[in-house]
Structure 1
Amino acid sequence: MRFRHRAAAGFATLLLPLAGLVGLASPAPAAADAASATATYAKTQDWGTGFEGKWTVKNTGTSTISAWTIEWDFPSGTSVTSAWDADVTSSGTHWTAKNKSYNGTLAPGASVSFGFNGAGPGAPANCKLNGGSCDGGTLPGDNPPSAPGTPTASGVTDTSVKLSWAAATDDKGVKNYDVLRDGAKVATVTTTSYTDTGLAAGTDYAYTVQARDTADQTGPVSGAVSVHTTGGGTNPPPTGSAVKLGYFTEWGIYGRNYNVKNLVTSGSAAKITHINYAFGNVTGGKCAIGDSYADYDKAFTADQSVSGAADTWDQPLRGNFNQLRELKAKYPNLKVLWSFGGWTWSGGFADAAKDPAGFAQSCYDLVHDPRWADVFDGIDIDWEYPNACGLSCDTSGAAAFKNVMAALRAKFGSSALVTAAVTADGSAGGKIEAADYAGASQYINWYNVMTYDFFGAWDAQGPTAPHSPLTSYSGIPHAGFTTADAIAKYKAAGVPASKLLVGIGFYGRGWTGVTQDAPGGTATGPAAGTYEQGIEDYKVLKTSCPATGTVAGTAYAHCGSNWWSYDTPATIGSKMAWAKSQGLGGAFFWEFSGDTSNGELVSALSNGLS
């Protein structure tokens, strides 16, 4: 499947202090028949109120290890607060770490490490590696259990929900299951169902399940299911002021003739809090200008200018950057970020990941160029996708995204905005699992979760499906490709809800050759679009193909032989209410020029978050 931004260029704080490196050797657990391995622990950082630890598993035998599980005990008062490159769970003071899908296999002589942030003064004790010794020797031939099936929810009330799931498998037998709510264990059961009670009415929760075998080895976590309890009355507002962010594309000033001034004349500038300017290039491991003419050279006439004054040939700064400067003078509370990467230029992040500090320095120098330093309040990274495939495939590793974001925060400092656009692939084994988004979240102000482009006419024969479904529905072509699934997965991984923004597309995606009104019909190809086949602005579809129904929280339209899906003011209002009920940090949209001349979609988004 493709997640992408339109128009051939796609689109996302705590700063831990550094301390001296402290090494602390200690045993830990391993796995596999007729294999041997060691596990060692090191405290890599200590900043007084917390620390960073690292476990390393090394295959010292002659047979490949296919999976590993480390167990240890921490003294009371010491705990893991976040982890990367392993699934870490606890039962009291007993901690268990299981390999991710991408780092479980170890050839003879190979090693793998995972890290975590911790709180408290204690050191690990009583280590086991796949139930065996942590300091070498033959490992028992007992593999961890498989992942259980993704839970299904039934009997949802104001305060409870019943969960059921398909059983996990294990070579020695499954002993029980841990039920996780929003990433925290709430129960351990021996059956494949559980009823969770004592919930809050009108609230969203995310549930996963993890199996444990007779040797107390835990397997991988299941897929997540999102549940919204009934009742609850008025949705609670998100914490703090909601972010209302729109993307402005540098190329929109050409064929679309959409200038910064249109943000004023449409009324949109007064209803948003942030603008992402898209896109800066990423090439040679550095941030670079995307379109110098559009960015800082094009001369705008008086009628095109925010200030009403024409640009002159000798003024120090022209182009979109100067227009954004004039916009900020008119709306002093408006913040502008420069977004780098996108669908077309994300291939450059592979080199950036090789030298995160050098990349961060190049971005800082460009954003703070004296000619336009006052224009930007921070930087947005649109990497499509870390350790996964977009226009090209990235193999930088699961930790690369976190390393890049950490370097950017260190260079830009605590007062600048550092954000990222991120995948909304909430499927089991999907893109969210490919990178350490939870670990990176400590360095960012928020993630723009790209909850659109789930389905489209790149599948030319269909089935027709809404490109931005809020929830799942009967017949959805791919499980996990919904807004609710994506948000649930980030929350379950440990990303704070307040750092997640829900995404809205100001456009539709459509097919032609369709005879069926409801979703799920066959097609013969993409519907005609003004700028690209299979895609059209809301401002056009509103009148050319009005909505004929809704599914999964978004609208669809069947007119003639064409079938489109898109968001309307009504569906945006419903999505904003959902975002508030989730406690999300706000919402963003791609992009301004798809809206009507009076900004009706921006108004719906802004009003829905107010």
Structure 2
Amino acid sequence: MSRPRRRWQLPTLAAAALLVAGATAVPVIAQESPAEPTAQTQQEVEPRQEGYRKIGYFTQWGVYDRNYLVKDIDTSGSAAALTHINYSFGNITEQGECFQANQAGVGDAWADYQRRYTAEQSVSGVADTYDQPLAGNLNQLRQLKEKYPHLRVQISFGGWTWSKYFSNAAATAESRRAHVESCIDMWIRGNMPVMGGEPQGGPGSALGVFDGIDLDWEWPGSEGEVGNVIRPEDRENFTLLLQEWRSQLDAVGEEHGKEYELSAFLPADPEKVDLGYDVPAVFEELSFGTLQGYDYHGAWDPTTNHQSGLFLGDNEPGPLQVSGEIVVDKWLAEGAPADKLVLGVPFYSRGWTGVTGGGDGLHQPAAGPAPGRYEAGIQDYEVIKASAGNFTLHRDEQTGQAWLFDGNTFWTYDDATEMTRKAQYVKERGLSGAMIWSLDGDTPDGELIAALDDELPIGPNPPGEPGDPGDPGDPGEPGDCTVAAWDPATAYVGGATVSYDGHQWRAKWWTQGETPGTTGEWGVWTDLGPC
């Protein structure tokens, strides 16, 4: 199953929106005269003492047309540079509860946990068996975490297409409780349903894959996709929904002996911020929030422009005035803590064709979206780089944006130079890091993630990393263990530590009855050394 790449469209200034690739594509509304930066937004910042967050979205549907597998996160070098992977997306019912399906546009359990991978396709290099309880992307993510223990994986709910019923989920105390409970049961406790005649699934089958939750509600209190449910109470209810999530995640975290994180994707449009978010209250619950740093302009606009400019240019056409800096300033001014803000960056470009007016093509009239490999008006960075020889490269040092133009077709995008510029901006503003939409747009050798990593290293203690079980103190003689001894009758969850045969061991996922030291390199137990 394949779904459209476009996911985070922004609202129209007027009702007249252009039809792009069969969907209404709409631009961001930002203030016509951005407010002067406040002392809060321009204050001197100290360098971060811990590493930076780098969150990459892995798209469920990218395994099809793009053939981008979880293994590619490893072979590209991206896994070593990331702190978090957001798996997109999980869907919810009209009543607001999580579910699984194998139906186009509704769900893809096959990609999630039923598809069996060959040894060549697999992170571990071992082929899946027909009847193993967990296969698909989730099993591959589990293997990736085994190889890179610092990585945290979150399930992201919603997105542009699947935000329709968030308002229902958040509407009442009972709906909030049921929503969170159902999603934790499926994605955190790992109780995937057995369905469609496939043997995968069952109680605890996906336990330990996910370390947190990402809410991508587009948007509380204002329009997103046509048909989304919207209520005036969404702003208040969003905060209450986050509180319910935080409460239940804390409870299951105590049960599992680990801390589960909670994040949210946040809009660029100042009006949407005002309508949907009590910012200080929201950040009381969030571990961090990711800011929309792209889709500021696209082929829904009648003239070419930068889709992800870091700064505002002098000659912006029309009433739309938006940049990465304006977005960051808005959230800081509303009370968001800088060290919880993550700036989004695109690993794709947006383009127009039929551009007239001459010159370098910027701010010129266009006929419509440029042809794209997967969707009109959009091209992955990997594809753009491969075709760049047919264009002239231009760079706007004022706004922080690159573009390609051949006299007819215009592509706005971020290359490694612009990624470096944005990463430096993240450091200058004291922000938490960078978020990537999406990992499948990069080159096979991870050119863009490498540029980010050069400026935003994850450090020895990546933010949110589960970390080691702690300083064991005097290790003593072999066999002198203070950690509880392994018990074959006890069920252990991922992250649990035990002692056995004079060593400490950490479980990678749920296990019961599997003896430490007997499960091999890719097995459930990691040897932490002598006690």
Using the alignment, how far apart are the partners of 2:155 and 2:425 within structure 1?
A: 28
Highest RCO, 1 vs 2 (Cα 8 Å, sep ≥ 6): 2
Using the alignment, how far apart are the partners of 1:493 and 1:558 within structure 2?
A: 38
Match of 1:366 among 183, 186, 196: 186
Q: Percent identity?
A: 40
Contact persistence 1:421–1:447 (CA under 8 A): yes
Aligned to 2:144: 327
Residue 39 of structure 2 is aligned to residue 181 of structure 1: yes
Q: 1:494 to 1:598 in 2, by over 3 A?
A: same
Using the alignment, how far apart are the partners of 2:276 and 2:60 within structure 1?
A: 30
Which residue identity lines up with residue 522 of structure 1 in the other structure?
A: P
Aligned to 2:249: 412
Using the alignment, how far apart are the partners of 2:340 and 2:4 within structure 1?
A: 24
In the TM superposition, what are the counterparts of 1:429-468 in structure 2 within 5 Å? 429-459=271-301, 462-468=302-308
Q: 1:264 to 1:152 in 2, by over 3 A?
A: closer
Name stretches of at least 5 consecutive residues in structure 2 with no aligned partner.
Answer: 10-30, 101-106, 191-203, 254-258, 458-531
Aligned to 1:195: none
CA shift for structure 1 position 434: 3.4
CA shift for structure 1 position 181: 3.3
3-state SS of 2:453 partner:
helix
Contact persistence 1:423–1:432 (CA under 8 A): no
In the TM superposition, what are the counterparts of 1:158-557 in structure 2 within 5 Å? 181-182=39-40, 205=42, 236-238=46-48, 240-283=50-93, 284-289=95-100, 290-354=107-171, 355-367=175-187, 368-369=189-190, 370-392=204-226, 393=228, 394-395=230-231, 396-413=233-250, 415-426=259-270, 429-459=271-301, 462-476=302-316, 477-515=318-356, 516=358, 517-545=360-388, 547-550=393-396, 552-557=399-404
3-state SS of 1:379 partner:
strand
Larger radius of gyration: 1
Q: 1:312 to 1:484 in 2, by over 3 A?
A: same
Using the alignment, how far apart are the partners of 2:167 and 2:52 within structure 1?
A: 33
Using the alignment, how far apart are the partners of 1:486 and 1:437 within structure 2?
A: 14
Using the alignment, how far apart are the partners of 1:152 and 1:270 within structure 2?
A: 39
Question: Once the two structures are superposed, what CA deviation does each residue of 1:132-166 show, in whole Å capped at 9, x if it has no partner?
Answer: xxxxxxxxxxxxxxxx995766xxxxxxxxx9xxx
Q: Please tell me the root mean square deviation across aligned C-alpha atoms, in Å.
A: 2.2
Using the alignment, how far apart are the partners of 2:49 and 2:313 within structure 1?
A: 30
Question: Once the two structures are superposed, what CA deviation does each residue of 1:276-312 show, in whole Å capped at 9, x if it has no partner?
Answer: 0000002221123331000000011111000111111
CA shift for structure 1 position 382: 0.3
3-state SS of 2:132 partner:
coil
Contact persistence 2:170–2:234 (CA under 8 A): no
Contact persistence 2:119–2:127 (CA under 8 A): yes
Using the alignment, how far apart are the partners of 2:437 and 2:293 within structure 1?
A: 11
Q: 1:560 to 1:478 in 2, by over 3 A?
A: same
Question: Once the two structures are superposed, what CA deviation does each residue of 1:206-234 show, in whole Å capped at 9, x if it has no partner?
Answer: 8xxxxxxxxxxxxxxxxxxxxxxxxx9xx
Contact persistence 1:238–1:586 (CA under 8 A): no
3-state SS of 1:314 partner:
coil
Which residue identity lines up with residue 549 of structure 1 in the other structure?
A: R
Name stretches of at least 5 consecutive residues in structure 1 with no aligned partner.
Answer: 12-147, 154-162, 164-179, 183-203, 207-231
Alignment: residue pair count: 393
3-state SS of 2:163 partner:
helix
Using the alignment, how far apart are the partners of 1:258 and 1:549 within structure 2?
A: 29
More helix by share: 2
Q: 1:259 to 1:326 in 2, by over 3 A?
A: same
CA shift for structure 1 position 608: 1.6
Using the alignment, how far apart are the partners of 1:398 and 1:316 within structure 2?
A: 40
Which residue identity lines up with residue 181 of structure 1 in the other structure?
A: A
Using the alignment, how far apart are the partners of 2:394 and 2:32 within structure 1?
A: 36
Aligned to 1:86: none
Using the alignment, how far apart are the partners of 2:319 and 2:99 within structure 1?
A: 37
CA shift for structure 1 position 241: 2.0
Using the alignment, how far apart are the partners of 1:312 and 1:422 within structure 2?
A: 40
Using the alignment, how far apart are the partners of 2:184 and 2:69 within structure 1?
A: 26
* TM-score after normalising by structure 2: 0.70
Contact persistence 2:58–2:439 (CA under 8 A): yes
CA shift for structure 1 position 315: 1.2
More strand by share: 1
Using the alignment, how far apart are the partners of 1:434 and 1:533 within structure 2?
A: 31
Contact persistence 1:441–1:495 (CA under 8 A): yes
Aligned to 2:435: 588
Contact persistence 1:554–1:565 (CA under 8 A): yes
Aligned to 1:600: 447
Q: 1:604 to 1:478 in 2, by over 3 A?
A: farther
Which residue identity lines up with residue 137 of structure 2 in the other structure?
A: N
